[in-house]
Amino acid sequence: METNGVSAGKRKHGGSPAPDRPTKHLREESFEIDEDEMMPGEDGSFIVEASRMLPPTAATHDSAEWQRTIESVVRNVVSIRFCQTCSFDTDSAITSEATGFVVDAEKGYILTNRHVVCSGPFSGYCCDVFPVYRDPIHDFGILRFDPKAIKYMPVAALELRPDLAHVGAEIRVVGNDAGEKLSILSGVISRVDRNAPDYGDGYNDFNTNYIQAAASASGGSSGSPVVNVDGYAVALQAGGSTEAATDYFLPLDRPLRALRCIQTGQPVTRGTIQTQWLLKPFDECRRVGLTAEWEAAVRKGFPKEIGMLVAEIVLPEGPAHNHIEEGDILIKLNGELITKFVQLDNILDSSVGQKVKLLVQRGGQDMEVEIEVGNLHDITPDRFVTVCGAAFHDLSYQLARLYAIAVKGVYVCEPAGSFRFDGMDKGWIIESVGNKKCYNLSAFIDIMKSIPDRARVVVTYRHLRDLHTMHTSILYIDRHWSTKMRMAIRNDSTGLWDFSDIGDPLPPVDLVPRSAQFIRLDNVSYSAATDLIRSFVRISCTMPIKLDGFPRARKTGFGLVVDAGLGLVVVSRAVVPYDLCDISITVAESIIVPGKVLFMHPLQNYAVVQYDPKLVDAPVQSAKLSTEHVKQGSPTIFLGFNQNLRVVVAKTSVTDITTVAVPANSSAPRYRAINVDAITVDTSLSGQCGSGVLADEDGTVQALWLTYLGERTHSNKDVEYHLGLATPSLLPVIRQLQAGVIPKLRMLNVELHLVQMSQVRIMGVSDEWIRKVEEDNPERHQLFMVRKVECGYSQTLEEGDVILTINGKVMTRITELDVMYDHDFLDMVVVRNCEEMTLKVPTVPTEDLETDRAVIFCGAVLHRPHHAVRQQISTLHSEIYVSARTRGSPAYQYQLVPTNFIVAVNGVKTQDLTAFLAEVSKIPDNTYFRLRVITFDNIPFVITIKKNEHYFPTMEFIKDPAEPCGWRRQTYEGTSAHAGTQLIPSTAFSTKQILGL
């Protein structure tokens, strides 16, 4: 079971023996709910399939009676593939497998686990199934299906008989063990009085006894019926230990009551006094104060009992607060002697809104208290709100009990967008927004309605695992990419969650000029270089959706101001990977202004962004860029920003200048620099700084110091390289932007690789050419070979070609390739297969390399294969590339994975997004369709996906300079597109305004 982003819970510890109740600090894999979660994925579906009538796989020596029982039982068991469509309460968005069984064939009810039904949204099929009930505490839930939709097989029901579960009873667990559709596991009940197992952080059952047996069930068997030889369901499979063959079964007393209530149309009342009880043996009860008189009375009244109920956790501000204390022994409830959880539940469930009398013993003293019983459903969330890309609901009883805190506060169930906090992913409780307290979800909604788009507000919050620490952050409120604030409310009649818009965003407040001063570096001896502080600004880039295989949703770095009058800033593409984003530029660590992407270089790892200089009253200085290439061994001054965003300066020298060879990311191609020289320097500070410059003593910038995004390691860590880029490469682009022109470059669609003379001799390069190389570049005797030719264009160069000249010039330096940016054709001499050839090689335009259209369909992000894909692949199968997907979505459930290409829908070829949208718009909602897919490694296959427009509407983002954000968003209903959620006009400016025209 997932642990919500944290590894262990800081919860109150009980005093029960370790063999009886697993400690809360065992390794998280020691105990698990039977969930077979697949790889990473957001809103999803629930699929139930009738189990195949396979030959029973019970023990080979089963009696004929057992064989008949099993043959009867398997007809009532269903295999479940399910999705929790978004994170909610203790559950994360997941895709998994489980089991259920029919308990009412006429009305169509299926019993399974609560951790299968989930606390949040999902949808279902086969026939369509919908959640009717999920218990707030106990691990069971009920689904509804239409019996008339079942064809080709009779539907029968298993009778629930909790009274037949006893020690020594032989049982069979019939279910979808380990995803095998049908497995039958045998065992013998060894205990019926076990405390509920503790699976660590996340969902846990409590206030109930569990049944224990050794059946060796595994993931997928959750929700299986535990049957006796007569074919009665005596328990419900719920979980097990991964370190032993032990399985944990939920008694059926409470599921049977809930089923009867639902069958008769009555509400399933659930009472609580917000107290967790544990069954503890008599010897332990004596140690906490049980008197001999009461022990004798209990043993006489219940001779088979081994212990009594002891208060473990009493929640602050709950009904029992100040009435019951931890360690109190429950003697009587409403005058009835209590030793079992079933008795406790019976009385509380029938007393909601009424007062009950409890007799407890505290340190040997009898204490009689009167407590009003609360409604357990009232403290179990049935709604959530989405705003700024994140989701929130009131703190649940489950989470409050886990950390022994009051059931109040706003819980961030899906930290994302503006509310993506640093550190742990889940477990945050919002204390205040904009200096206003968030006591509950209603107060939070009212506060968010009053905050304008693009505002920056102070937010205070705590983490459940560290409630002692108050965190304070300033958040940027995004109400333009995620425009609507939406409320989702659970509807137990339809089984869906109903969405409604609850507040349009307020327009952003007009910005006014602000003044500030830069810091001074008085203790640094290089005054001219330190003046460069006035040329640096901090850049934050927030990406609302994942494109181009980029791994992060937010990046921060520093950029160099190259024209203070126009507000032009150069920054690494590891910080600004694409232009569907929000750019915030901080000047002098004091003034924050919006920015916009003007230009992204396809190869050299930099982008140019712009801010409005009229909003900045500060002595920003345009950096002076060198027109000469820095030399190896030259002295230089390194000025950079370390991981703490602090300035560091050091006198150093250039150690090497060589063509960069950033490794490609094999699992998900993303932007990387190629065909460009990288500079390294002789100082350890260079490895600590992702942004900076190399400058001479008069402050002229010789090179930018940039972060280069590299490959992803096997431990899922993204490698970053810190290298220098010589400024002469920037100057042609900067000059065009200063002149009001967006550069339109051309390039050779190849990746080049350095080769030495010893290699090129073998490849057929003559001695005469080798002498020309030695004369042209005395410092480095090298040529370049075509390592990879990008696909998607007609090819003139071939992989393995050794380039000798470009436009009559011997090419021994990668910077000599820069002539390609301004030429439609290049005259080249190459050596191919030991033969010298003269070629006229066309260049290709670069303006269409960047992603300018994205479709979100069934939770998958689709767009044209971006440049990195074309660099790494040999054949483009289509123009529909899967870039990302969300957890719990149909794309995730049915294994439409990133790097796949979609080539056909329901047998109709779809080579581009327009054709794809035309075909999928014909598919009715809640219907299966076929996709023909080809993997990145050229393996074709067909998958089926069930369309789910309720939780995953089809949306499209189209680049549009006329829009304030530069992109237009539209959603689809049926076969037509409409504006849908509009982007909000903001303080962004048009292209003409940006360029000062």
In a domain, 34, yes or no: no
User: Do 648 and 711 fall into the same domain?
Assistant: yes
Same domain, 353 and 412: no
3-state secondary structure of 972: strand
Residues 344 and 453 in one domain: no
DSSP string covering 643-688: TTS-EEEEEEEEEEEEE--PPP-SSS------S-EEEEES-GGGGT
C-beta contacts of 517-526 below 8 A and 24+ residues apart? 517/588, 517/590, 517/618, 517/619, 518/588, 518/618, 518/619, 519/588, 519/589, 519/647, 521/647, 521/649, 524/649, 526/637, 526/649, 526/651, 526/697
Residue 241 is assigned to a structural domain of this protein: yes
**Same domain, yes or no, for 157 and 241?**
yes
CB 713 within 8 A of CB 970: no
Extract the tokens encoding 228: 């006796």
Expressed as residue numbers, the domain containing 131 is: 64-264
User: Could you tell me if residue 744 is inside a domain?
Assistant: no
| Strands (E) located in 14-125 | 31-33, 46-50, 77-84, 94-104, 109-112, 124-125
Q: Is the dihedral of CA 21, 25, 31, 34 positive or negative?
A: positive
Q: Among residues 264, 283, 308, which one ends one of the domains? A: 264
- Classify residue 363 as left (phi > 0), alpha (psi -120 to 50) or beta: left
Nearest to 207 by CA among 261, 267, 279: 279
CA distance 491 to 393: 16
Distance CA 661, CA 650 (A): 26
Q: Active-site residues: which are they?
A: 115, 139, 221
CA dist 139 and 117 (Å) reads 10
Measured CA to CA in angstroms, residue 543 lies from 410, 554, 960, 973 at distances of: 25, 6, 17, 26
The set of residues, in sequence order, having a beta carbon less than 8 Å from that of 545 and lying 6+ positions away, is: 481, 580, 854, 856, 861, 884, 957
Same domain, 866 and 806: no
pLDDT the model gives residue 715: 80
State which of 374, 401, 433 marks the end of a domain: 374
Say how many Å lie between the first and final Cα of the chain, rounded: 58
- Number of C-alpha atoms within 13 angstroms, CB side, residue 841? 27
Does any domain span residue 37? Answer: no
Burial of 15 (0-12, 13-18, 19+ CB in 10 A): middle
* Upper half-sphere CA count for residue 886 (Cβ side, 13 Å): 28
Distances (CA, A) of 208 to 205, 466, 530, 567: 7, 29, 68, 66
In a domain, 53, yes or no: no
CB 709 within 8 A of CB 720: yes
Residue 956 lies in a domain: yes
**CA–centroid distance for 845 within its chain:** 36
Residue 62 pLDDT: 67
**All residues at 6 or more sequence positions from 598 whose CB lies less than 8 Å from its CB, including other chains:** 568, 607, 608, 609, 610, 737, 742, 994, 995
> Does a structural domain hold residue 35?
no
Which two tokens mark 873? Answer: 């692949």
Q: Are residues 392 and 458 in the same domain?
A: yes
Based on the fold, state whether residues 276 and 227 are members of the same structural domain.
Answer: no
Structure confidence at residue 964 (pLDDT): 87
Q: Are residues 354 and 328 in the same domain?
A: yes
Calpha distance 700→14 (Å, rounded): 67
* CATH number, domain containing residue 224: 2.40.10.120
Number of folded domains in the chain? 6
SS3 of residue 114 by DSSP: helix
Question: Can you tell me the distance from the alpha carbon of 882 to that of 898, in angstroms, rounded to the nearest whole number?
Answer: 5
Mean pLDDT per block of 10 residues along the chain (997 residues) reads 34 35 30 34 35 37 81 86 87 84 93 90 68 94 86 83 93 73 82 89 91 72 90 90 78 96 95 96 94 94 92 96 96 94 95 96 94 96 94 96 95 92 84 95 96 95 93 94 91 90 91 91 72 93 93 94 97 96 95 96 96 95 94 93 90 93 89 94 92 92 95 87 95 95 93 93 94 92 94 87 95 93 94 94 91 95 95 92 92 93 96 95 92 95 92 93 89 54 33 31
939 domain-assigned? yes
SS3 110: strand
Angle between helices 253-263 and 341-349 (to 10 degrees): 30
Please say whether the beta carbons of 409 and 403 come within 8 A: no
Give the separation between CA 286 and CA 291, rounded to whole angstroms.
Answer: 7
CA–CA gap between residue 997 and residue 991 (Å, rounded): 9
Instruction: Supply 580's token pair.
Output: 């569907």
Structure confidence at residue 993 (pLDDT): 32
| Ramachandran bin of 846, using left for φ above 0, alpha for ψ from -120 to 50, beta for the remaining angles | alpha
135 and 244 fall within a common domain: yes
Answer with the one of 477, 503, 529 that is the final residue of a domain: 503
Per DSSP, 506 falls in state B
pLDDT, residue 36, reads: 34
Answer whether 169's CB lies under 8 Å from 234's CB.
yes
Q: What is the CATH classification number for the domain harbouring 967?
A: 2.30.42.10
Contact status, residue 203 vs residue 398, Cβ threshold 8 Å: yes
Whether 552 and 454 share a structural domain: no
Based on the fold, state whether residues 820 and 860 are members of the same structural domain: no
pLDDT of residue 709: 95
Q: Quick one: 573 and 674 in the same domain?
A: yes
